[in-house]
Chains A and B, each alone.
Chain A
Amino acid sequence: MLGEGIIKGLAETARNFIGSYVDEERLTTVQYPEERLPAKEAARNFPFLVFDGTDAHAGLRCVACQICEKECPPQCIYIEKSKDKKPDYVGKAQFYPAVFDIDTSVCMSCQICVEVCPFDAIKMDTEFELSNTDRFGGLLFDKHRLARSNEYYHRIHPTEAAEVDSHLATEKAKIEAKTKADAEAKARAAAAKAAAPPTPKPAPAAASH
């Protein structure tokens, strides 16, 4: 019969329409912004800089190595290295970014800066409501706007943050063990030197070697 297919199709539409009143499953939309779906743990939208502790300057993990600046495909990161140094999480003096800007309007949230960062200093945020009325300054995020605490990182990506923390802890332990061993070796060498009789002067053959 002509029109049978159409009637069958309309029956399907009717089933969906009536179904939306009786079956929660069939209601697939939510009333954003009043209602929101929970963010996925892996969700990524825009990078931020992680700092440890409470002080955003003292705890900032970034050492201004500029790898992310070079690797960023749309080149939206701008870094200026500091003149002085500050201690990083293991206590070693490192540079820090005097300027760290990311242009929101250029960033494409590809996560490559996160992957290339050797210091676990830059991570992806889940915040997506970044619209702004200021077209230039408001879309250029500086390091104060970008800095987020490690607790915040734990809150949005718990699994990943725990992995990063354990990795950093092992690194720190390794470095501390190494510095300790170095110091001990140095002390031992110094002690040995002090114990040994002073040599008058080094032999010329040894110097040439």
Chain B
Amino acid sequence: MDAPVTRSTASLIPSPEGAGRPNYTLRQKTSDSGEIAGDLLEVSMGPQHPSTHGVFRMDVVLDGERVVKLKPVFGYLHRNHEKIAEDTTYLGSMPYTDRLDYFCSLTNNWAYALAVEKLAGLQAPERAEYIRVITAELTRLVNHTCLVGFLLQDMGASGTPLMYAFREREKVLDLFESLTGARMMCNYMRFGGCRCDLPPGWLEAARQVVDSYPRFLDEFERLLSENEILIARTQGVGVLPGDLAVNASISGPMLRASGVNYDIRKVDKYGIYDRFPFRVPLGEHGDTYDRYTVRVLEMRESVGILEQALRDIPPGPIMDPKSKIRGFRPKPGEAYGRIEGPKGELGFYLISDGGPNPYRYRVRPPSFINLTILEDMCLGHMVADVVVILGSVDIVLGEVDR
């Protein structure tokens, strides 16, 4: 007889009645006479599926076109980053952090530098802190712009939004290249500061990009936010209630889209974020549309932070004089440095035994942990919605698998 589907994670996460749980029951399967009627179908989506943003596989059990069960399978891009980092010098791991979430190498750099600075007792000078805020917020712009483009691409709007997003991203990547030498694998931050000072004329170029960004966001929103197809595909799809999100340690824009006011820039005030007044956009429903809107609003707040930081940046040194490149050995101890990355809480946990390389090195990757709740968001939805929900989680497989 009809029996309600139990969720695999239901015992883990107590949630209020009906919240996040699709309210439907399975049709009766194979009848007693052996006639095949509405059999469950197991589909392996990925690892080469274009919508999975890389090599990621979902084992989906389908009833017709509705998802009954979903198991994320990852590890195809596992590169042993954490173990390699335990064998490499502290500085040697810095370029590898670029390759975690390859859209936001500068925020990855910052999180790692923050952890090592805590470990070694270094303090970045004020100018370096400003440069860090500027590059991190530019990274946030890049990440959210691309995410929206990819999300629309997953929804079937192939081309236009993604190309518009990439056009804007390229301007920011040009800034990164003239500052750090590389567009994506920046490897820019160092323990106690930044590698090199801003080149002449960089601030003006950055100001131009930042000033033109709201115009692009307006254009983007005119293109998308009121689009009926987008609304029909995203509103009410993949609802993630706030308490479930908190219990599953979701972080970043995904958590805020569920209405939980938690932004590490506000909570920890790491770096110099206490100097910048900005608002934290929150969603109401926790659906895919809210996750989209929160990101667009966050970009506008980032533009505000950038304008202020580019105005106030002081002259001065960019490296802590105590820091050194060769023979860097922090004293024994442990440290956890975390920042609000574009995807969520990005943390690095390090234990030092006084040697040239960390004794233990662990990354808290936001997109990996945000992915764990995928099944609960997808149950009861169509296969095509799974693609959209996965797009709105904002994963990068380099970071999920490490």
Query: What 0/1 readout, one digit per residue, does chain A (9-51) give for beta carbons within 8 Å of chain B?
Result: 1011100100000000000100000000000111110000000
A3 at the interface (CB under 8 A from B): yes
From B95, B199, B219, A12 is in contact (CB under 8 Å) with B219
A159 to B230, CA, bound (A): 49
Q: Of all chain B residues, which has the CB nearest A70?
A: B89
Cβ-defined contact, A4 with B185, below 8 A: no
Q: Note all chain A residues with C-beta closer than 8 A to B89.
A: 71
A116 to B89, CA, bound (A): 12
Query: What 0/1 readout, one digit per residue, does chain A (73-116) give for beta carbons within 8 Å of chain B?
Result: 10000000000000000000000000000000000111110011
Interface of chain A residues 129 through 152 with chain B (CB within 8 A): none
Q: How far is the CB of A104 from chain B (nearest CB, A)?
A: 15
Interface of chain B residues 319 through 342 with chain A (CB within 8 A): 325-326
Cβ-defined contact, B91 with A112, below 8 A: yes
Query: What 0/1 readout, one digit per residue, does chain B (235-266) give for beta carbons within 8 Å of chain A?
Result: 00000000000000000000000000000000
A63 at the interface (CB under 8 A from B): no
A108 to B79, CA, bound (A): 15
B182 at the interface (CB under 8 A from A): yes
Interface of chain B residues 163 through 215 with chain A (CB within 8 A): 164, 167, 170, 174, 177-182, 185, 187, 195-196, 199
B160 at the interface (CB under 8 A from A): yes
Cβ-defined contact, A42 with B180, below 8 A: yes
B222 at the interface (CB under 8 A from A): yes
Q: How far is the CB of B204 from chain A (nearest CB, A)?
A: 15
B92 at the interface (CB under 8 A from A): yes
A67 to B93, CA, bound (A): 17
Cβ-defined contact, B222 with A8, below 8 A: yes
A156 to B185, CA, bound (A): 20
B349 at the interface (CB under 8 A from A): no
Chain B interface mostly: helix
A4 to B225, CA, bound (A): 11
Q: Given that A5-B227, A28-B167 are known contacts, is A73 also in contact with B181, CB under 8 Å in the complex?
A: no
Cβ-defined contact, B185 with A40, below 8 A: no
B150 at the interface (CB under 8 A from A): no
Give the A-B pair count, Cβ closer than 8 A. 84
Query: What 0/1 readout, one digit per residue, does chain B (141-178) give for beta carbons within 8 Å of chain A?
Result: 00000000000000000001000100100100010011
Q: Note all chain B residues with C-beta closer than 8 A to A3.
A: 228
Q: How far is the CB of B270 from chain A (nearest CB, A)?
A: 25
Q: How far is the CB of B320 from chain A (nearest CB, A)?
A: 16
A207 at the interface (CB under 8 A from B): no
Q: How far is the CB of B164 from chain A (nearest CB, A)?
A: 7
Cβ-defined contact, B223 with A13, below 8 A: yes
Cβ-defined contact, B179 with A73, below 8 A: no
Cβ-defined contact, B91 with A42, below 8 A: no
A2 at the interface (CB under 8 A from B): yes
Q: Note all chain B residues with C-beta closer than 8 A to A2.
A: 228
Cβ-defined contact, A73 with B95, below 8 A: yes
The 6 closest A-B pairs by CB, nearest first: A5-B226, A110-B95, A44-B181, A73-B92, A42-B181, A9-B223
What would be 30 A-B contacts, judged by CB atoms less than 8 Å apart? A4-B226, A5-B225, A5-B231, A6-B228, A12-B219, A13-B160, A13-B223, A28-B170, A40-B174, A40-B177, A40-B178, A41-B178, A41-B199, A42-B181, A43-B181, A67-B326, A71-B91, A71-B92, A73-B93, A73-B95, A108-B95, A110-B94, A110-B185, A111-B187, A112-B92, A112-B94, A112-B187, A115-B91, A115-B195, A159-B199
Residues of A within 8 A of B (CB): 2-6, 8-9, 11-13, 16, 28, 40-44, 67, 71-73, 108-112, 115-116, 118, 124, 159
Task: Given A2-B228, A42-B180, A42-B199, output 8 extra A-B contacts at Cβ < 8 Å.
Answer: A5-B226, A11-B222, A67-B326, A110-B95, A112-B187, A115-B91, A116-B325, A124-B181
